[in-house]
């Protein structure tokens, strides 16, 4: 069994046990050797937002397929629309969270 890959510049230890590089284009840390705790946290939050958006893609696709079915009963069609609205709201909240994170880490 191969050991997990590591990156040249560790910033955040993931549960899987491997180090991940700082996001390209992000602000440099105050120390050239280690990122700040806030940078490591921001990097982890960005990855989490990305994963949540990816996780929402499957139910969106399934709901779109269901909505296209002409034989879908009206009560189920309404539930599908409710679920689509809920996912759209969750996606919007993730975008707001991403923008908040970006503004908090913008150079001042």
pLDDT of residue 103: 87
Q: Which residues face 19 on adjacent strands?
A: 13
Taken in order 88, 20, 39, 24, is the CA torsion positive or negative?
negative
Instruction: Please indicate, yes or no, if residue 69 is contained in any of the structural domains.
Output: yes
44, pLDDT greater than 50: yes
Task: Tell me how many domains the chain contains.
Answer: 1
Instruction: Please indicate, yes or no, if residue 74 is contained in any of the structural domains.
Output: yes
Alpha helices per DSSP H over the chain:
37-68, 74-104
Between CA 14 and CA 17 the distance in angstroms is: 5
pLDDT of residue 12: 34
* 61-98 pLDDT, tens digit each: 999 999 999 999 999 999 999 999 999 999 999 999 99
User: Tokens for 90?
Assistant: 């969750």
Instruction: Please indicate, yes or no, if residue 7 is contained in any of the structural domains.
Output: no
DSSP character at residue 88 = H
Instruction: Please indicate, yes or no, if residue 3 is contained in any of the structural domains.
Output: no
Instruction: Please indicate, yes or no, if residue 91 is contained in any of the structural domains.
Output: yes
The closest alpha carbon to 52, from 98, 85, 20, 5, belongs to 98
pLDDT range class, residue 17, cuts 50, 70, 90: very low
Provide the whole-model pTM. 0.61
Query: Quick one: average pLDDT of 45-63?
Result: 94
pLDDT above 70 covers a percentage of the chain that reads 69
Domain that holds residue 64: 37-104
Instruction: Please indicate, yes or no, if residue 16 is contained in any of the structural domains.
Output: no
Between CA 11 and CA 62 the distance in angstroms is: 36
Instruction: Please indicate, yes or no, if residue 80 is contained in any of the structural domains.
Output: yes
């Amino acid at each position: 069994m191969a050991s997990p890959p590591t990156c040249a510049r560790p910033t955040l230890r993931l549960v899987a046990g491997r180090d991940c590089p700082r996001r390209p284009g992000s602000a440099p840390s105050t120390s050239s050797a280690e990122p700040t705790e806030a940078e490591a946290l921001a990097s982890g939050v960005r990855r989490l937002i990305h994963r949540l958006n990816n996780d929402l893609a499957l139910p969106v696709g399934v709901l779109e397929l269901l909505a296209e079915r002409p034989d879908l009963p009206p009560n189920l069609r309404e539930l599908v629309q409710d679920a689509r609205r809920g996912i759209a709201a969750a996606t919007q909240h993730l975008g707001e969270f991403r923008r908040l994170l970006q503004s908090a880490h913008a150079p001042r």
